Structure 1
């Protein structure tokens, strides 16, 4: 059996592909030359499994999506109090490149707008032979599990037109937020934004955040839970600029966008998601990227306010009954939402193609989200296509339907033991 997750992601991409609204970031010459038709989507589970589709090998510059990672690295390096002494955490409600500071303390309002990001860049670790941007590149490479590089052409293009950011840098120097040459800091910040990534890189980075700072594929802790919590909190309230309120209500996933067309999001305990589509809306966010996130959140029940807990495992027990036909029983426990359904389907796809009876017992499932039921029945149909006979034991009547999407009568409203006794006697 092949897990249906890749097919679903392809379906979402196809549904959003026709959206031609928005415009390229033409104030940066190199970005104005981007292919507006590029479109990619990647999703990573907390254990590091990657699903991707579309132009998922295309590299683009990380731009403002570097801001939360720079913020995390600064906190990791200096501690939260030292960073808070330079950059606040309040949503600004203003454009990302607004030349303004908090009127009460003359500090940038948060690290996601340019004034806060430039200040945060000045707090990154550096040495005479290793720049701040290089240290961030190394950090992002560790998160992405591959060596990332700078896009020198985009960097040069942005430096030539960085008049507004340089104005912000000099404003920060004037009020004492910056203690060094503002040109050097702004140039370093621009280079930080010119690191090249793919959606798969961003999804991997996001999955570390979703997993509380631990890299699922290696088990290595890269960031403390406290740093990740601070990072995601600021992303939730400030990551989508002056569209943050709309994003919170419609998508509900801590996220950050970039003017090259990328958006990444991390839902704690569940998934990391990244999209890429270069055309932007009036807020500087990818038009198709926002639409994709809205669909994923709605279809998969990923809004942070859903509040349903995620399990580390969904299969409590698997065993084989020795009858005339092979009977494989899966006893499930916990909740069945996207994360658990994906985990279950990944386990079931290892079942060999054979004339086997597979029994899925959901008696001890406490909650089934709509996406969980949909994915469960999709997996059932695919197992049947592989030659299996499949039954779903639903003695608690958690499922509204008794038939799979393909019309197979698979739901049994009996206790597992009663059904297995009947099965053995056949």
Structure 2
């Protein structure tokens, strides 16, 4: 498959579209990003890297990080995880409070904000220095020691994270948060602030396209069964309440973030990451989704 030619063609086509999206301005620090940035990186199962545009520029991955923290805790505690958080699509906005009332403080899945806060609580329970451990884990998988938290983004989220504060306190009222809410929020805000490039992101997600095995080291990070479940969560829940449309149009497991990043995997074939900061009404990158729909259409290959 001529992936470089394919992504070059897609890049040129998508750039010609009228970008109807808007940058995420509810986190003031994200609103400062150049809205015209656009990059694509694809890594195949033989470790060949194909990229174009702003594929090597760092950006805040935001909710994409939720896949990584969930996978880390899943590898640590196994199926005990699902006593604290569910694995069903939410059908509501990613920061909804309403659903928690009906479900007694058990978030519908780990990729909505409520679920990610429970995962953050578990990170505090199981690791002595969770922020340091998480960052080291990210750097190792992406093979890049320059990846770091963005202090300004984390602070910006803290100063404007009223709904997340409401969520974590509400969950604690159901005794599904064990640590102090401020500590849980601190980890969560830093987790979302991690910055990396499309190439880093594509490398990072190779483990999910490789049956839970880290390609370079051959380390079995997740069992085959665990990897299957993380991929299923990405398929069902990776794009907020647009997950069904993404499955219909693209047909790959993936995850988006309000920083404009989108990552998707084709198990045993490739991982692909796209960055374009303008978001559609559902909070997903407008160019990102257009790019991935074209990729699976041109290659005539998806998981279905």
Deviations 1:12-37 (A, max 9, x none): 11110133211000000111111011
Please state how far the C-alpha of 1:4 moved relative to its aligned partner.
4.1
Answer yes or no: is the 8 Å Cα contact 1:102–1:109 preserved in 2.
no
Aligned position for 2:105: 106
Please state how far the C-alpha of 1:85 moved relative to its aligned partner.
0.5
TM alignment of 1:135-214, pairs within 5 A: 135-147=133-145, 148-214=147-213
- For normalisation by structure 1, the TM-score amounts to 0.68
- Bigger fraction of residues in helix: 2
Which gives a bigger RCO, structure 1 or 2 (Cα 8 Å, sep 6+)? 2
Aligned position for 1:254: 253
Deviations 1:233-289 (A, max 9, x none): 111001111001111111110010000000001121111110000000111100000
Alpha carbons of structure 1 residues 272 and 180: separation in structure 2 relative to 1, 3 Å: same
Aligned position for 1:298: 297
Distance in 1, Cα, partners of 2:30 & 2:178: 31
Aligned position for 1:7: 5
Distance in 1, Cα, partners of 2:76 & 2:219: 18
Distance in 2, Cα, partners of 1:7 & 1:102: 50
Please state how far the C-alpha of 1:216 moved relative to its aligned partner.
2.5
Partner of 1:15: helix, strand, or coil? Answer: helix
Q: Mind listing any 5+ residue stretches in structure 1 that lack a counterpart?
A: 306-426
Answer yes or no: is the 8 Å Cα contact 2:6–2:295 preserved in 1.
no
Matching of residue 34 in structure 1 with residue 33 in structure 2? yes
Distance in 2, Cα, partners of 1:5 & 1:252: 18
Q: Mind listing any 5+ residue stretches in structure 2 that lack a counterpart?
A: none
Distance in 2, Cα, partners of 1:180 & 1:299: 48
Partner of 1:219: helix, strand, or coil? Answer: coil
Partner of 1:79: helix, strand, or coil? Answer: helix
Please state how far the C-alpha of 1:218 moved relative to its aligned partner.
3.7
Distance in 2, Cα, partners of 1:185 & 1:228: 26
Distance in 1, Cα, partners of 2:137 & 2:265: 18
TM alignment of 1:87-106, pairs within 5 A: 87-99=85-97, 100-101=99-100, 103-106=102-105
Please state how far the C-alpha of 1:105 moved relative to its aligned partner.
4.4
Please state how far the C-alpha of 1:183 moved relative to its aligned partner.
1.5
Alpha carbons of structure 1 residues 105 and 167: separation in structure 2 relative to 1, 3 Å: closer
Answer yes or no: is the 8 Å Cα contact 1:253–1:302 preserved in 2.
no
State which drifts further: 231-240 or 133-142: 133-142
Deviations 1:191-231 (A, max 9, x none): 00111110001111222211112233343333322221111
Aligned position for 2:62: 63
Partner of 2:205: helix, strand, or coil? Answer: helix
Distance in 2, Cα, partners of 1:106 & 1:144: 34
TM alignment of 1:16-415, pairs within 5 A: 16-19=14-17, 20-80=19-79, 82-99=80-97, 100-101=99-100, 103-124=102-123, 125-127=126-128, 130=129, 132-147=130-145, 148-305=147-304
Partner of 1:213: helix, strand, or coil? Answer: coil
Alpha carbons of structure 1 residues 102 and 50: separation in structure 2 relative to 1, 3 Å: farther
Deviations 1:330-382 (A, max 9, x none): xxxxxxxxxxxxxxxxxxxxxxxxxxxxxxxxxxxxxxxxxxxxxxxxxxxxx
Distance in 2, Cα, partners of 1:236 & 1:24: 24
Distance in 2, Cα, partners of 1:44 & 1:223: 20
Distance in 1, Cα, partners of 2:215 & 2:156: 37
Deviations 1:81-115 (A, max 9, x none): x1101000011101111113172443000001000
- Bigger fraction of residues in strand: 1
Deviations 1:123-166 (A, max 9, x none): 12321xx2x23222111111101112111111111111010100
Distance in 2, Cα, partners of 1:298 & 1:36: 26
Answer yes or no: is the 8 Å Cα contact 2:24–2:31 preserved in 1.
yes
- Please give the root-mean-square deviation of Cα atoms over the aligned residues, in Å: 1.4
- For normalisation by structure 2, the TM-score amounts to 0.95
Count residues in correspondence: 299
